[in-house]
Structures are given as C-alpha cells and as structure tokens.
Structure 1
Amino acid sequence: MRIPVPDVVPPAEELGRVHFVGIGGAGLSAIARIMLARGIGVSGSDGVDSATLASLREAGATVFVGHDAAQVGDADTLVVSTAVREDNPEYVEAVRRGLRVLPRSSALASVMAGRRVVAVAGTHGKTTTTSLLTVALQSAGADPTYAVGGELAATGTNAAEGSGDLFVAEADESDGAFLHYAPHAAVVTNVDADHLDQWGTPEAYAAAFDEFADTVSPDGFLVCVVDDPGAAALAERHRALGRRVVTVSTRADAADSVDVGPDALAGITLWSPGDHYLADALAALATGLALGLDHAALAAGLAAYTGTKRRMERKGEAGGVRVYDSYAHHPAEIIGDLQSGRALAGEGRLVVAFQPHLVSRTRIFGEAMGQALGAADEVVLTDVYLAREEADPDVTGAYVAGSVPLPADRVAFVPDLADVAAELARRARPGDLVLTLGAGTITTVGPLVLELLADHG
C-alpha cells in the first residue's frame, strides 16, 4: 500500500506515541529503534514473531504478533510498511480515528530532522555500503546515528542513536522513498534498472536517481562509483551542473581519472573478496574523506568490518562443506556474489540455491538470472517468493532454471522450499561451498543444510 507523503513531516519528538504496522521489517524496525533510544513511546505489530520483535521488546517497545484494531491503543501516529494492505485493521482504525499516518520514508525523515544526513542509494550494494560507512565513521570518531537495511555483525542491530551530528541512512529507491530526505551528502553505488513495477521503464528509473541527486543540499556533495555506467553518467551530469561530485573506481587503470581509486585501500584486506565489495568500501572511504575525516582512521574501520547479516554471511561448516547466505536477487547481484563465492570456494565447487524474488522481477529478469547462475557448478532453483504479488503460473523458478547454461543433471528445480536443504546436502561434498541466494525465505535453508551435513558426517 502506498501512503501519501505529507508536505510537512514533524520531527520525531513531535509525533507523540508511534505505532508501527509491520514493525519487524528492516526499514520500520530501524526507525523504531532510534525513536526508542530518544525516549519516544513505540508500539507495533507484525505477522509473525521473530528475533527482531524480541529485541524491540527488550528495547522498550510494546509489540504484538498479528493485527487487531485495538492494538493501535493510544497512538498519535501510525507508520505503515508498504507490504501492509488497505484492509489491515490497524490502518483502518487509524483512518477512522483521524490519526496521522506516515509511510516509511516520512518516518525516517522525522528522525533525521536536525542532523547532517548521508543517504546511500543504488540498485545494488546499499546495505553493505551503508554498513561500511557506519563502521568507518565510528572508527574515525564521528559516532553517527545509523539506519541500515540489515544487521551489522559487529553490533547485532540495524540501527542505533549516535552522539554525533551525522545520520547515515540506507536510501531505498524501490518505492521512491529516497526522494524525501534532503541529504547533505548522497552516495550512488550504481544505477541498474530494477523495480520496474514501480518505475515502468529503465529510463524512468534512472531519472529518479537524477531527482535524488537534486535533493542534495547546495553545500553538500555526491559520491558515485563510476565503474557503473549509470552512476558514471549521473556523476558527469551533476558535475556539469556545478555540483561537488566525488568519483570512485575499483579499476587500477582509472586511478588517474577518479578521486578515489583502489590504491586508497592498498594493504587492507576486506571481510569478503569481490570487486563489488571493494567498490562499496571505496565509496564508504570516499564519503568519509569528503566529510573531512582521517584516511587512516577510516581505513582501519573498513579493515575491522566483519560483515552484515545476509550479505555473504558465513553460516557455518559441517562435513567439510562451508555454507554462506546472501541477499542477491537481481542478475548483477548474482554475478557479484558468485564471483565472491568462487574466490571463497578456492579449489572446491560452488553449489548455489536461488529463490527468485517477486513475479514482476522474475518475468523481466528471469532469463538473465539463469544465465548469471551458470557461473556455479551446481544450481538448485526454488519457486518464486511472492512477497506483495500474486502468483503467475507462467513465471516460476522453472522458468529461471531453464535458462541456466549448465548440463541438466547439474540444475534442479525444487519448488517446495522445505525440500531444498536436502537437495543441497545431497549435491554437496567435502571442500565445496554452498551459497543460498535471494531476498526471501531462502535464508532459512543454510542452517538446515548444516544440520543435515552434520548428521551424515
């Protein structure tokens, strides 16, 4: 459901008691944590219980499992996830009572008020770059408030209130939320068409990033990773408009033509291999430098970074098989994570399970997803994770499986997620690396694979 963005969003301290519908999601839970840290009364609900809900309860929130009008209680403001439907009883009750109703973007803007905002955007790499930037700034003594779309391994949380004036936020383009933050600085990792159910065409999607860059304050700056053609074009256009633009590249041959190249992290070993992760780290470093912070301190933070949940996250090892999990759900992300997985696997094989995310995305990119998965040695496809969409019998995991350029015996379509762990355990052998990919429930499979491998070890 799309909630209109109000013309004026009060600071969080003026929202009264706030009730979140869908509080267990990455975006809303981050905002709720920051409000709780500021002493604002918070309640919320979600469809299923989770570790996130438990941690919010520990932080002082009143959290319900399931949705009921009575749970709105004495709230003054309702914050609604885009996954919530118009017939949700808590939303209906809030409208009936005339409460202030805010979308996620407006609620995030409310906690940003009064801070210097650094907004991190891009089709891929937002969460990792935001996380890297957060730990780099902490290392350099800035202590920012942060809101990330995943849990930092070092802190075990996706958001925290800092003592400094900086606010680092992941800026989501999927529903246009990133157009409402008016940041001091903006980072664009790449501009690679996605979310076309929202934007319609690749051209409209790219234009949204231009509009995002236009929201940067006149005394601020834009950081672009110019390895990506879309981000490079964005940098060129906005530099021509007289704006301060900082360019980043992983390519050694581009070092003389960009502001920050790979030599800026010479001697630093990052937590995971892969050019896309190097690009994220360089973007974080460039942002910190543009903010006037010390290079050595920033680099030390990047070297100490231990990852973010669901971004090439090591789940464990059993039977000589290592298991990782990652959030990749777009062809470019699959390519990047398979590159990292291949490097981590060494002489072992790379066995991948992929859960396509959204019917609309799979319809557009399904063939490219399959082609990207061809870089693995063994591939298991499960059915499409529907999220907010209805099923389409013509757009399933089988469609993606049919595009994987591997021999038929090395590709399996296993429609029921409950059967995927057993299929992976059957295919894996000592020395292999198993990698589960997707933005949905595929993340539950890795621990089950480890259990099966341990039982048969």
Structure 2
Amino acid sequence: MKLADYHNIYFLGIGGIGMSALARWFCKNGFRVGGYDRTPTALTTELEAEGVTIHFEDSLNAMPAWVKEERERTLVILTPAIPKNHLGWSFLRFEEYTIKKRAEVLGMLTHNRHTAAVAGTHGKTTTSSMIAHLLKDSGKPVSAFLGGITANYGSNLILHNGPEEPVIVAEADEFDRSFLWLEPELAVVTATDADHLDIYGDAAKVVEAFMLFVGRVQPGGTVFINSNCDAIIANGAGKGVEVLSYGLATDASCRAENVRVENGAFYFDYVGLEEEIRDLELGIPGFHNVENAVAAISVALKLKISTDNIRKALASFRGVKRRFELVYKGGNSVLIDDYAHHPEEIRAFLKSVRALYPEKKLTVVFQPHLYTRTRDFHEGFAESLSLADEVILTNIYPAREEPLEGVESQIIYNLLTAKEKKMVKLQEVPALLEEGTYEVLMTVGAGSIDTLIPQIKGLLEKKEKEEANG
C-alpha cells in the first residue's frame, strides 16, 4: 500500500504522545485527520485547534461521517492500547478497513529516508529530542517524531518545510516490538532493562527484541549502544554495521569525562569519534542526561555537525516536558516533575537531584504505573525510592490493565527504607502536602500524577508568600 492512496486518516487512540505526532504530520501534509480517544487532554485540545476532528465517545454515531462513507479512501491507525472490545475498532475490522499499527505507519514514513532511531527502555525521548535539537539548531534539515513535548519547540513533532531531504529522527518504541518496523541508518540503544514483561514474558525476551532492533540497522550504518546495556545485543548487528559503545564508562568508545556540577549546571568533556570537546555545558540536569548527551553528540558528529554548533546547541537544549522538569523554584522550595516509571529511571533521577541539592531534604511523590510493572519490580521501586529522605506513595495508575490480586502500592510501601514514608490516594496528595514544608519536592510517575502539578505549584507559591509575610 501507499500512503498517497488515502485521503482520510482516522486514529484509534489519537491522544497518545506517539499517535498525536503522526496525526500532526498527516494534518500538516494535507490529509483529512480525525480520531477517537477516551478522554480529552491538553494534547487533544491542541490537535482540535490544528484542524483535527476528535470524538471521545465509543459509538458509531460519534465517528466522523467521512470515515463511514469513504472506506476505500480511509486509513485507520491503531494504538496497541485500544481494547479488543472497542466498538469502533470492531466495526472497522468487520467492514474490512485498512488498519495499521502506529509503528508500521512510522516505518512507512521513514522507509528509504535518512533515519536516526533511538530505542531503549528509558532515556529514548530525551535522547531523540536532543538529537533533533542539535541538528535543527545547527541548520541541518530535520524532521522528528518524538515521545514527548520538547521545551524548545513546544511539540512532539518537528517538521522540515524546505526542499532538502531531511534527516528523520524517530523514537523507536520497544512496547509490542514496535521498533522492528524501522530500518535506520543510525541507531541508539539507551537501555535494555527488563520492562513490559506483560508483553515479553521475561527479561531474556526483552534483550532478544533489542538484538533484533540492532539487526534492523542498514549496512554501512552505525549503532551506538549504552555501555550499561546487555552486551549480547551487539551480536545482532548485520554485516557492514559499525557498533560503538557510549556512556560514562572509561572504556566506552564515545564517553563523557570530567563530569561535574557547577553553579547548578552539569558540565563534561566529550571524547569519541576522533574528537575531544572540552567543557561542554548541558542545558538540563542529570548524570543520565550526560549519557543521553554523549549519544546525541555522537549521532550529530556522524551527520557532520561541527563541534562549535554542537557546543552551542547543547547548552540551549531545554529538555522535554515531564523529564526532569523544573516546575517551580522559590526562595525556600523547588518542585521538579519527572515521567520516571521504572526503578532504574527513578534511581538515576534521584541521584542527579541529590547531586544538585546535596544539603536539601528530598521528598518524592510517586504514582506506580501498571499492576504488572508493580508486581515485577516492587523491590526495585522500594530500593530506588528510598534514595529520597521522604517518600509519599499513591495508588497504582492502571492504564490499560485490570487489577491483579495481591498487587497494590502496599507491596512497595512495606519495603521502603526512607527516613519518612506515607501512603495516600492520589487525590489526597495536595491536602497532605499542605500540612508540611518542603525543600525539594518531586512528583514522579507516568500516569495521571501530572494533573496535580498546577495545584501543588500553587500550594508552594502560597507557602512562600506566607513565609515572606511572616
């Protein structure tokens, strides 16, 4: 099939971060775009303002008329999060519409194009966004499909409008083995920690999928693999593919040296690809983001970006919404929001926060994401969360899952060794926070915890004013 054969694009699950980026691409390229999602969000509101028709009721009456009237001209794009009993999906299957998964369509958009793909169980959104920024800020033609809203561009889609053929930067999602639709020239693997075990079954199958992804890199291409990844995935590389390690390890092919925190900012030296770039300033905090920067710099160097442009662009990178996002900074308190939802992500995040605020009390509010992930990693969650001085744990955000017997936040709470710990329902968090004082407060999780941010920020601002007024 060819995308040009279709006039209408209809999305099931249009509000997802990856789906909405595709929707924006089709909308900007002259297609008629519509879709369904379960609930309105800031993203769906933005899409509607951009001309996309969206409905939130799962009924055939709510579905746009042009979908039902123009079957042959309508391509349906599906997210794996849509349940099997969804009425709209059942109708579209029964009527034999052309239905493709989001990842397959992304593979079609990037086919035979210069593509840099970033995969990994964590770190891929920041790394892909950083690569896109290094290229765009340096004047390199680039389009990017990202898994988060970049602070520099306010979108999850960067679109090149000039006559030149752009490099496409794509976030390669391991969920449901989606990344195996891509065939990149350049690839990055940021992490291969066990995750999505409801899909894969065990950690070995996760590693196997990443090995297959490495095998998708085109001959003559290069794959950069974090030195913390399972080394066996390098064996998946095909003939003529260059495999290089990267990270903080002293023996990595591309590495950061002399990493330090000065005046609240991270600095480091880059060594790799026959280049040494000294005293780089990273525009966002975090040791894990230094690793991400090493990967992004390496990709940029492969694409002939000058070291001067890299230095300038790296310092001006402002990160991704909900990735180490500094929401509020007052005289006595700080609020940081992060999407971390895996023990290793939380560990890296909290270690970096501690480096920035070594003398401050760290309080983390964490909403676990998925029953299966809580079941599989509750010990790891307890260990990583206990790096904070105080842990406030909420109920589990289920997303696509039904409850599992015996799996609740309590199994994490019982193992916490932080100096202070509390457990409340998510909606009770603001009232609890109103009772205390906080130096460094962090909201963490991939569920709905971010909906509390405006209220928590307002609470901290109110406390600051009260303290200032005596």
Shift of 1:62: 1.4
Equivalent AA in structure 2 for residue 268 of structure 1: L
Deviation at 1:110, TM superposition (A): 2.8
Q: Could you tell me which of 58, 71, 74 is aligned with 2:66?
A: 74
State the percentage of identical aligned residues: 33
Helix, strand or coil at the partner of 1:101: strand
Partner of 2:169: 168
2:322 to 310, 318, 322: 310
Aligned pair partner of 2:416 in 377, 395, 404: 404
* Counterpart residue type for residue 258 of structure 1: S
1:438 aligns with 2:445: yes
Greater RCO structure (CA 8 Å; 6+ sep): 1
Distance in 2, matches of 1:450 and 1:318, equals 10
Aligned to 2:274: none
Partner of 2:193: 192
Secondary structure of the corresponding residue to residue 282 of structure 1: helix
Query: Structure 1 residue aligned with 2:121, among 98, 120, 123?
Result: 123
- Structure 1 pair 454–293 and aligned structure 2 pair: CA distance change class (3 A): closer
Q: Aligned pair in 2 of structure 1 residues 436, 146: CA closer, same or farther (>3 Å)?
A: same
Deviations 1:317-372 (A, max 9, x none): 45732111101111100001101222333422111011111111110101110111
Residue in structure 2 matched with residue 6 of structure 1 by the alignment: none
Alpha-carbon spacing, 1:240–1:178, altered in 2? closer, same or farther (3 Å): closer
SS in 1 for 2:279: coil
The alignment partner of 1:370 has SS state of helix
Mapped contact 2:386–2:418 kept (Cα < 8 A)? yes
1:238 CA drift (Å): 5.2
Q: 1:84 corresponds to which letter in structure 2?
A: I
TM-score (norm 2): 0.88
Counting strand residues as a fraction of each chain, which structure ranks higher?
A: 2
State how far apart, in whole Å, the 2-side matches of 1:428 and 1:447 are.
17
Structure 2: distance between partners of 1:241 and 1:261? 28
Structure 1 gaps of 5+ residues are: 1-9
* Alpha-carbon distance in 2 for matches of 1:346, 1:165: 43
Q: Which residue of 2 aligns with 1:54?
A: 45
SS in structure 2 at match of 1:428: coil
Per the alignment, residue 203 of structure 2 pairs with: 202
Q: Does 1:39 align with 2:30?
A: yes
Does residue 374 (structure 1) correspond to residue 386 (structure 2)? The answer is: yes
Tell me how far apart the structure 1 counterparts of residues 312 and 116 of structure 2 sit (CA, whole Å).
20
Q: Name the residue aligned to 1:389.
A: 401
Q: How far off is 1:150 after superposition?
A: 0.5
Contact 1:260 1:286 in 2 (8 A): no
| Counterpart position of 2:430 | 421
> What per-residue deviation string (whole Å, max 9, x for no partner) do you get for residues 188-237 of structure 1?
012111111111111111011110011111121111121x041x4433x3
Which among 147, 150, 155 is matched to residue 148 of structure 2? 150
Deviation at 1:393, TM superposition (A): 4.4
Partner Cα distance (1:248, 1:144) in 2: 23
The 1:242–1:394 alpha-carbon spacing in structure 2 relative to 1, beyond 3 Å, is same
Compute the displacement of 1:28 (Å).
0.4
Contact 2:219/2:238 (<8 A) preserved: no
Change (3 A) 1:58 1:393: same
**Distance in 2 separating the partners of 1:274 and 1:24:** 29
Match of 2:85 in 1: 87
1:321-400 paired onto structure 2 within 5 Å: 321-400=333-412
SS at match of 2:398: coil
Which secondary structure state, in structure 1, belongs to the residue aligned with residue 99 of structure 2? strand
Q: Is the 8 A contact 1:72 1:93 kept in 2?
A: no
Q: 1:225-304 alignment to 2 at 5 Å?
A: 225-226=226-227, 228-230=228-230, 232-235=231-234, 237=235, 242-251=240-249, 253-254=250-251, 258-262=253-257, 263-264=269-270, 266-304=278-316
Give the alignment's TM-score, normalised by structure 1. 0.91
1:106 aligns with 2:107: no
Amino acid at match of 1:79: I
Q: For each residue in 1:10-64, what CA deviation from the matched residue of structure 2 results, as whole angstroms up to 9, or x when unmatched?
A: 3433333110111111010011111111111111121111221121122221122
C-alpha deviation, 1:427, in angstroms: 3.4
Contact persistence 2:187–2:223 (CA under 8 A): yes
- In structure 1, how many angstroms separate the alpha carbons of the residues matched to 2:33 and 2:108? 14
Higher mean C-alpha deviation, range 67-76 or range 336-345: 67-76
| CA-based RMSD | 1.9
* Shift of residue 424, structure 1, vs aligned partner: 3.0
Distance in 2 (alpha carbons) for counterparts of 1:223 and 1:455: 47
Shift of 1:296: 2.1
> Between Structure 1 and Structure 2, how many residues are aligned?
437
Counterpart contact for 1:318–1:450, Cα < 8 Å: no
Aligned-pair CA distance for 1:282: 0.6
CA distance in 1, matches of 2:77, 2:8: 11
**Aligned runs of 1:216-227 on 2, under 5 Å?**
216-226=217-227
